[in-house]
Structure 1
Amino acid sequence: MNVFRSAIEGKRLSSVVFVEDYVQLVFDGDVLTMFVWPEISGGSKIFKQGSEGYCDALSRLINRRVVEAAEHPGEQLSMLFSSGDVLSMSLREDDRTGVEAGTFHGTKDRLSIVWN
């Protein structure tokens, strides 16, 4: 099983932190920092950074659990939440504004993952 997948599945999103040019998702103490703004899809809607309802769509994921996660190296990171919504972040180099697409810091076993 993928390291990220095993670390994040079953975790509850406890907070969303919007910073000037990135977003942090906190899962029961573990922190996923996304330097590439994620997309949220739910039902027939897709929310992208800057679109109306984007912040609300991210915030609605609070208290939801990650049911399934997938990492496709160099392509995409995605998480299916208990609400049925899917959050995905591009790992493609062309979509980055810096060196890293994102990082994950787990409290258990001091796990650290960098997508670059």
Structure 2
Amino acid sequence: MIRDLENSEVSSVIFIRDYLQLYFEGDRRCGTLTAYSLPKSIVCGREFDHSTPGYRDSLCSFISHQVKRSEMEEWKIKLVFDNDDRLEIPLHQDQELGLESAMLRIDDEILIW
């Protein structure tokens, strides 16, 4: 289901207290990726995490960019955009506590990690 994000464009990034949501619009489907584990972004070769100045700006820079490739690596969700910038959501941090790390909703389908 994560591959359904490929070729879709980030239309908005929403910051909510201690998590964030990215909205995607595609030709056929739209979706929401909620990151409860705060992601890392790699923009123009520079890495940003939630404690790095410019973190929110780096996430907003994904708006209007298409997902070129989406993949599940061992303990992270990885999205590569059309400009080769990346978003990586860690999946292991909260699982030790039994908490969800991320949720993907596309139409009526939901996938939780």
Same fold (TM over 0.5): yes
Cα separation, 2, equivalents of 1:21 and 1:98: 17
Q: Which residue of 2 aligns with 1:16?
A: 13
Q: Which residue of 2 aligns with 1:33?
A: 34
Contact 2:45/2:85, CA 8 A, preserved across alignment: no
Contact 1:61/1:83, CA 8 A, preserved across alignment: no
Aligned partner of residue 59 in structure 2, secondary structure: helix
Alpha-carbon RMSD: 1.4
Shift of 1:103: 0.3
Question: When the two structures are aligned, how many residues end up with a matched partner?
Answer: 107
Q: Which residue of 2 aligns with 1:4?
A: 2
After TM superposition, where is structure 1 displaced by more than 2 Å over at least 4 residues in a row?
none
Q: Give the partner amino acid of 2:46.
A: K
Q: Which residue of 1 aligns with 2:111?
A: 113
Q: Give the partner amino acid of 1:4.
A: I
Q: Which residue of 2 aligns with 1:100?
A: 100
Residue 54 (1) aligns with residue 51 (2): no
Q: 1:13 to 1:98 in 2, by over 3 A?
A: farther
Deviations 1:29-74 (A, max 9, x none): 411000000001123310001210100000011000000011125x
Structure 1: which 5+ runs fail to align? Answer: none
Cα separation, 1, equivalents of 2:8 and 2:56: 21
Q: TM-score, normalised by structure 1?
A: 0.86
Cα separation, 2, equivalents of 1:72 and 1:45: 20
Q: TM-score, normalised by structure 2?
A: 0.88
Q: Once the two structures are aligned, what percentage of the paired residues are identical?
A: 26
- Tell me which protein shows more strand as a share of its residues: 2
- Tell me which protein shows more helix as a share of its residues: 1
